[in-house]
Amino acid sequence: MPQPNRVEHQLTDKGYVPVYTTAVVEQPWSSYTATDHEVWATLFERQQQLLIGRASDEFLRQQRLMGMSPDHIPKFDDLNPVLRKATGWELIGVEGLLPELTFFEHLANRRFPVTWWIRKPEQLDYLSEPDLFHDLFGHVPLLMNPVFADYMAAYGRGGVKAHAIGPEALVNLTRLYWYTVEFGLIKQDDGLRIYGSGIVSSKGESIHCLDSAAPNRIGFDLERIMRTRYRIDTFQKTYFVIDSYEQLMEATRPDFTPIYAKLAQLDSFPAGSVQPGDAVFNRGTGEGWLKDGDV
């Protein structure tokens, strides 16, 4: 059975640096313990309740159609025929975070890497790295939506390209992923809703991102997002709001090469700043913000 040793450390001239495992693994389904299945059930039911009226209609609809249930941890092999039929995507099991280029290549080929192991009961509210609950509950429902599915594959191809251009291009592209796929909001006729997986898999942030006066909520703008730093250790200071998944697809269709070149000459924006030209839904009060730590 694969062990959850996702990160090893290797001594280099920069000291110990983490090395991520790259292995694609069979989901070791029969090795999940009763506790693992209980953690899944608890998180699934808690978030499903909380997300009514908070997650986007499309996220909730696709989640229903996929047929995940709280009864037990889903088998990738049961979900895959449903997903393949809807959009041609499939899930592959992995130990954890992958090297960037490997990750992009999987996405470009419509393979979504899902961490096979699930957090422990004492980690229900916070985990600093993706686990099965985040990957499966958070990311997979929207892969059933044809437009979003195309966006994710295009992102993978864009990632392969950005990787060849250089580290600065990758920083720009990673911010786009962060502020859309992971922490995106969408405007529905009846108000703002969540579609970002980093939010839907977190109880605290599912409430904070919509109800709190602290964060900025700002209309989607590609270059603005590509210049904006973000938080990895606290709730986001800023959320960006799309009008539709089609908007996301259209805005990211152009070749990014000239955009990367232009942005290389410009400063980045602090995570919590409001910029001239922003379409402001909410100007954050900044309550509770830490001064340092934008990445």
Q: Contact positions toward ligand PHE, by CB under 6 A?
A: 151, 154-155, 158, 161, 176, 252-256
163 among annotated binding-site residues: no
Binding to Fe ion, residues 168-227 (CB under 5 A): 197
Q: Which is nearer to ligand PHE, 73 or 242 (CB)?
A: 242
Q: What does the CA dihedral 168, 292, 241, 46 come to, rounded to 10 degrees? A: 120
Q: Which is nearer to ligand PHE, 93 or 158 (CB)?
A: 158
Q: How far apart are CA 110 and CA 138, in angstroms?
A: 17
Q: How far apart are CA 190 and CA 192, in angstroms?
A: 7
Q: Which residue has the tokens 């980690």?
A: 123
Tally Cβ neighbours within 10 Å of residue 5: 9
CB of 258 to Fe ion, least distance (A): 28
134 among annotated binding-site residues: yes
Q: Which is nearer to ligand PHE, 37 or 157 (CB)?
A: 157
106 among annotated binding-site residues: no
Tally Cβ neighbours within 10 Å of residue 229: 18
Q: How far apart are CA 196 and CA 277, in angstroms?
A: 24
Contact (CB, 8 A) for 281 and 219: yes
CB of 43 to ligand PHE, least distance (A): 29
Q: Which is nearer to Fe ion, 139 or 163 (CB)?
A: 139
CB of 39 to ligand PHE, least distance (A): 33
CB of 252 to ligand PHE, least distance (A): 3
How big is the site for Fe ion, counted in residues (CB under 5 A)? 1
Cα–Cα nearest to 139, from 103, 114, 109, 172: 114
Which residues are at the interface with Fe ion (CB under 5 A)?
197
Binding residues for Fe cation, as ranges, are: 134, 139, 182
